[in-house]
Amino acid sequence: MSDTTATQDTTAAQDTTAAQGSARIEAAHAAFEAARDAAPRTRAGWLEAVASALEANADELVPLAQRETHLAEGRLRGELKRTVFQLRLLADEVVRGENLQATIDHADPDWGMGPRPDIRRVNVPLGVVGVFGASNFPFAFSVMGGDTASALAAGCAVVHKIHGGHQGLGLRTGEIAAAALAGAGAPAGLFSTVLGREAAELLVEHPLVKAVGFTGSTSGGRALFDKASRRPTPIPFFGELGSINPVFVTEKAWDLRKEEILDGYAGSFTLGMGQFCTKPGLLFAPAEDTGELAGIIGGRLEDTPASPLLSPRLREGYDGAVAEVRGAAGVEVLIEGSQDDAPRPTVFATTADAVRSNPALLEQEMFGPATLVIRYPRGTDLAELASLLDGQLTATVQAEPDEDLASLLAVLREKAGRVLWNGWPTGVTVTYAQQHGGPYPATTSGTTSVGTAAVGRFMRPVAYDSFPPAQLPPPLRDENPWGIIRRVDGAWQPIPNGGAR
Amino acid sequence: MSDTTATQDTTAAQDTTAAQGSARIEAAHAAFEAARDAAPRTRAGWLEAVASALEANADELVPLAQRETHLAEGRLRGELKRTVFQLRLLADEVVRGENLQATIDHADPDWGMGPRPDIRRVNVPLGVVGVFGASNFPFAFSVMGGDTASALAAGCAVVHKIHGGHQGLGLRTGEIAAAALAGAGAPAGLFSTVLGREAAELLVEHPLVKAVGFTGSTSGGRALFDKASRRPTPIPFFGELGSINPVFVTEKAWDLRKEEILDGYAGSFTLGMGQFCTKPGLLFAPAEDTGELAGIIGGRLEDTPASPLLSPRLREGYDGAVAEVRGAAGVEVLIEGSQDDAPRPTVFATTADAVRSNPALLEQEMFGPATLVIRYPRGTDLAELASLLDGQLTATVQAEPDEDLASLLAVLREKAGRVLWNGWPTGVTVTYAQQHGGPYPATTSGTTSVGTAAVGRFMRPVAYDSFPPAQLPPPLRDENPWGIIRRVDGAWQPIPNGGAR
């Protein structure tokens, strides 16, 4: 995005036209071609420049985000810190060359199936990636969030569709990022933004777009996934759609830690007004006395601050989902929320039998401060209950370390991308082992959108067969000029200088 | 597949009914659940048992394959050796735990974005995989070929759709494999076979099938890809469809090695009667004199043995594709083949200008012993010509080591999964660095179906967050009971005993 265009957009905030969108995609493709062979340290420098620029502009960006999203300042500062950290962690990963998965097999006349030629493989970036920002994390899953950061780390160019819920912040973040990239020497157009529905569809349909990263609703995400799959040349669509994030409390844990568990639950489902992809929307507990349950949770909710939801459209969806659950057979209101502009939390309760007769109840995501407790009778097979669930980002057990939970954990592993023990799913650390993605409809692929493993989504392998040394790309030359981690003749070689930058 | 069912199939060779197909998929799912936590050495033992059984039965299987495919005995024995080697290489990889990508991040109170919980990720198998065998490699891409072997190595169960072109061989191979697995202690149903169209569709549509591996035609593959993508819960479809495998001869190489290059070309495009996914179907060369070209190639083709194609249906497709190319504007016949039952090779020639006006000519796969030479005038920009191509499994350059080919290689890298230097694409070694898969329509995903990297296609990551040690699965326990390769706090750790079995 040129500064001129961005400034015009900021002033008028008009939707990007198809012609403007195409021009940005074409500019992104040209930038990708210019940048795809950049050395790891160069690329890492670009990510670092964006990280520093976001950090330097925090005092402008955070108040802008507050105004547009109603999220609290502390939460937004934490989220910006996480976004900056993520860019730097990915920069380190780029320098280590982990994403390249460079693999060298020297010629071997004695190879078991017959003589092997010299063959070497490296991951290359896909090209232009379309990224759709989420409304609920205006920094970490938006303009310079995980999808954009990992696509840039992969060596791709990004055209980002700004979420309408924080348009001003999105445009300003885009300007700051584009200026930082330009200042660090990245080719113009490597990162740009678009606004509006027409440009959004173009991002999935344009022949030069080679992959899409998306965080949003199940219906919207599925429609775009279908569009991506039906192209003459289909492209991968990495979509994070819906997740209810069940929590299973064992009888033993309930007996020992009922109050502590309900305390954590109340804190987690109301965090950020319940607007987390990983909000615990279902709690399976052996609770007998609904009055006691309401008393404990209600007490914990008294001090919860309330604020408006992220957008009127989202509020409408929340109200509809809450009404659906409220009207379902066998559901009772444990704690009545409010219909205020800043709604108070709502807690429903139902029984194991009710969800067995109506498993759809387990698929109703209430995106906001509402949740459903499923009371199960003692002696219930939790694995059987868990098998009623759809795919999830997370599943949690509240249990004691000496319990035999093999059958429950086996089911949860099939249902979720991250399984937690005695924790709460709303915290998602950015690290090497993170997995933020699970079976459909949680995500449309088995990959993660958080952590270092997110980078590989935007790359594909290319093998070089029998190449003379001078014609090989740097990551595959014997002398390892980039100093990256590589697998050579089957064994991983340590990074020459330990991977220090 | 029970032995009884298999024996009935062998006798009658009737199509599998929907009920039979569903029963095999359900049995496969049960076997998957029973086997998914098997230790690496156990799983490697199953692969080894299949390898040994195929080896032990070579003298029965190879003649069966000869009768059904018309392929030569030597080629088939080599292919069986490759198939057996592949199973053993994957068994070694399983023992090393490369496919698990086990990653451990210990809790870190000083982690840059805020305190990090203990979080550990491992790949788990997807479940039941449907595999569609190819006609042209009755061992290496069929019943116990790369897709099946890598899915079993991943920990999945496999239901294999036997190709109608070698049904007897397929059924017998299936029996031998199932018996070997049973003898090695694998749960019944972990591998089975089905026959016919109804069962084939079921393999893509059944809710318990979690992924598909396919090798076949572009039209058939795309139809199944669409089916897989349109399911209520979409599943990954790893399809290898069509590839023409262009070869670019530079002016310098042509001047120095014209005869040698045409010799290699003639040998490669007629290998196995041209029925290779990697057959060189296009040769771009600065040839001026078509008479000379016909003379050299024709001389090399004289001794080429001819045999019938794999199946009447494939022959029909070949005749149709040859007729299409023959009838295209600007195409001349350089060497006239024959319409015999065992057709003699056909070589067409055209010009760079002709393909520029009709790039569809570059997308016409003639699956059999036919190929097209594109004569380009000296001074032509080969990168521009290459940019007209669709996605390919392979692209080859015939060039001299001191030439500057950066722009051509940059385009070929975008177009193909494997780029060869002064070689011929028809040899595909099974190794760590192999990449057999390229941009659409070569394959429907960026992954490889050959080599050790094929295993990861059939797995998805699961993270364990804050688990007590005793509740963690073995690959993620600190003591590393399986002795596998792991990344711990960002750094890969060597395999404890060097990975020896």
A463 and B CB contact within 8 Å:
yes
Cα(A274)–Cα(A301) distance, integer angstroms: 13
**Domain-located, residue B189:** yes
The C-alpha angle with vertex A328 and arms to A322 and A332, in degrees rounded to 5, equals: 80
Which residue in the set A126, A233, A433 is minimally distant from B121, CB to CB?
A433
Tell me the pTM.
0.96
pLDDT digits (tens, 9 = 90+) for A106-138: 999 999 999 999 999 999 999 999 999 999 999
Report, as residue numbers or ranges, the catalytic residues of B.
240, 277
Amino acid at the residue B38: A
**Domain-located, residue B435:** no
Residues A335 and A309 in one domain: yes
Three-state DSSP class for A495? coil
Cα(A250)–Cα(B227) distance, integer angstroms: 40
pLDDT for B12: 53
A106, A116, A352, B15 from A109: Cα distances, Å = 10, 6, 64, 44
Amino acid at the residue B173: T
The phi and psi torsions of A356 (rounded to 5 degrees) equal -65, -40
Q: Pairing between strand B346-351 and B370-375?
A: parallel
Q: Which of residues 109-128 of B touch A (CB under 8 A)?
A: 111-114, 116-117, 119-121, 124, 126-127
pLDDT digits (tens, 9 = 90+) for A322-377: 999 999 999 999 999 998 999 999 999 999 999 999 999 999 999 999 999 999 99
List the CATH number of the domain containing A343. 3.40.309.10
pLDDT for A327: 97
**Domain-located, residue B438:** no
Q: Which residue of B has its CA nearest to A82?
A: B113
Could you say which DSSP state residue A255 is in? Answer: H
pLDDT for A498: 59
Mean pLDDT of chain A: 95
Per the CB < 8 A criterion, the answer to whether B32 and B156 are in contact is yes
How close is the nearest chain A Cα to the Cα of B404, in Å?
9
Contacts of A105 in chain B (CB under 8 A): 431-434
Contacts of B448 in chain A (CB under 8 A): 461
Residues A307 and A159 in one domain: no
Residues A159 and A302 in one domain: no
Cα(B423)–Cα(A10) distance, integer angstroms: 55
Residue in B171, B132, B166 with CA at minimum distance from that of residue B11: B171
**Domain-located, residue B302:** yes
Three-state DSSP class for A409? helix
| ipTM of predicted assembly, 2 dp | 0.96
pLDDT for A495: 83
pLDDT for B498: 59
**Domain-located, residue A69:** yes
Residues B385 and B331 in one domain: yes
Residues B178 and B213 in one domain: yes
Cα(A193)–Cα(B112) distance, integer angstroms: 28
Amino acid at the residue B415: K
pLDDT for B9: 40
Largest CA-CA distance found in chain A, in angstroms, rounded: 77
The C-alpha angle with vertex A348 and arms to A344 and A354, in degrees rounded to 5, equals: 165
What is the span of the domain harbouring residue A113?
3-9+18-241+445-459
Where are any strands of DSSP class E within B23-78? none
Q: What percent of chain B has pLDDT over 90?
A: 95
The Cβ of residue B171 has, within 10 Å, a number of other Cβ atoms equal to 22
Residues A121 and A216 in one domain: yes
What mean pLDDT is predicted for residues B251-256?
98
CA atoms within 13 A of residue A177's CA, in its CB half-sphere: 30
Please provide the DSSP assignment of A33-57 as one string. Answer: HHHTT--HHHHHHHHHHHHHHHHHT
Per the CB < 8 A criterion, the answer to whether A104 and A486 are in contact is yes
The Cβ of residue B144 has, within 10 Å, a number of other Cβ atoms equal to 31
What mean pLDDT is predicted for residues B158-184?
97
pLDDT for A9: 40
**Domain-located, residue B166:** yes
Contacts of B441 in chain A (CB under 8 A): 233
Q: Which of A9-23, B229-243, B358-372, B385-399 has the lowest mean pLDDT?
A: A9-23
Cα(A113)–Cα(A105) distance, integer angstroms: 14
Please provide the DSSP assignment of A265-320 as one string. Answer: HHHHHHGGGG--TT---EEEE----HHHHHHHHHHHHTT------S-HHHHHHHHH
Q: Say if residue B458's pLDDT is above 50.
A: yes
**Domain-located, residue A200:** yes
Residue in B133, B116, B170, B144 with CA at minimum distance from that of residue B46: B144
Q: pLDDT category, B494, cuts 50, 70, 90?
A: confident
pLDDT for B66: 96
Tens of pLDDT along chain A (501 residues) come to 233 333 334 445 799 999 999 999 999 999 999 999 999 999 999 999 999 999 999 999 999 999 999 999 999 999 999 999 999 999 999 999 999 999 999 999 999 999 999 999 999 999 999 999 999 999 999 999 999 999 999 999 999 999 999 999 999 999 999 999 999 999 999 999 999 999 999 999 999 999 999 999 999 999 999 999 999 999 999 999 999 999 999 999 999 999 999 999 999 999 999 999 999 999 999 999 999 999 999 999 998 999 999 999 999 999 999 999 999 999 999 999 998 999 999 999 999 999 999 999 999 999 999 999 999 999 999 999 999 999 999 999 999 999 999 999 999 999 999 999 999 999 999 999 999 999 999 999 989 999 999 999 999 999 999 999 999 999 999 999 999 999 999 999 988 765 444
Residues B452 and B414 in one domain: no
Residue in A358, A351, A280 with CA at minimum distance from that of residue A324: A358
B258-263 long-range CB contacts below 8 Å, 24 or more apart? B258/B296, B259/B296, B261/B285, B261/B398, B262/B293, B262/B296, B262/B297, B262/B300, B263/B296, B263/B300
B7 and A CB contact within 8 Å:
no
pLDDT for B3: 35
pLDDT digits (tens, 9 = 90+) for B439-448: 999 999 989 9
pLDDT for B40: 98
List the CATH number of the domain containing A98. 3.40.605.10
Residues B58 and B142 in one domain: yes
Q: Say if residue B1's pLDDT is above 50.
A: no
- The domain total for chain B is 2
List Cβ neighbours of B355 (8 Å cut-off, separation of 6 or more): B361, B362, B374, B385, B388
The secondary structure element, H or E, covering residue B395 is: strand B392-398
B433 and A CB contact within 8 Å:
yes
pLDDT digits (tens, 9 = 90+) for A247-300: 999 999 999 999 999 999 999 999 999 999 999 999 999 999 999 999 999 999
Residues A358 and A403 in one domain: yes
Q: Say if residue B312's pLDDT is above 80.
A: yes
pLDDT for A12: 52
B468 and A CB contact within 8 Å:
yes
Q: Which of residues 197-256 of B touch A (CB under 8 A)?
A: 225-226, 229-230, 233-234, 236
Contacts of B489 in chain A (CB under 8 A): 432
Helix then strand count (H, E) for chain B reads 15, 17
Which residue in the set B234, B405, B465 is minimally distant from A420, CB to CB?
B465
Residues B235 and B381 in one domain: no
**Domain-located, residue B480:** no
Amino acid at the residue B321: A
pLDDT for A490: 95
Per the CB < 8 A criterion, the answer to whether B81 and B121 are in contact is no
Contacts of B471 in chain A (CB under 8 A): 401, 405, 409, 421
Residues B279 and B148 in one domain: no
pLDDT digits (tens, 9 = 90+) for B286-309: 999 999 999 999 999 998 999 999
The tokens of B319 are what? 């005749």
pLDDT for A446: 86
Residues B144 and B48 in one domain: yes
How close is the nearest chain B Cα to the Cα of A413, in Å?
7
Mean pLDDT of chain B: 95
Is the CB of A445 less than 8 angstroms away from the CB of B236? yes
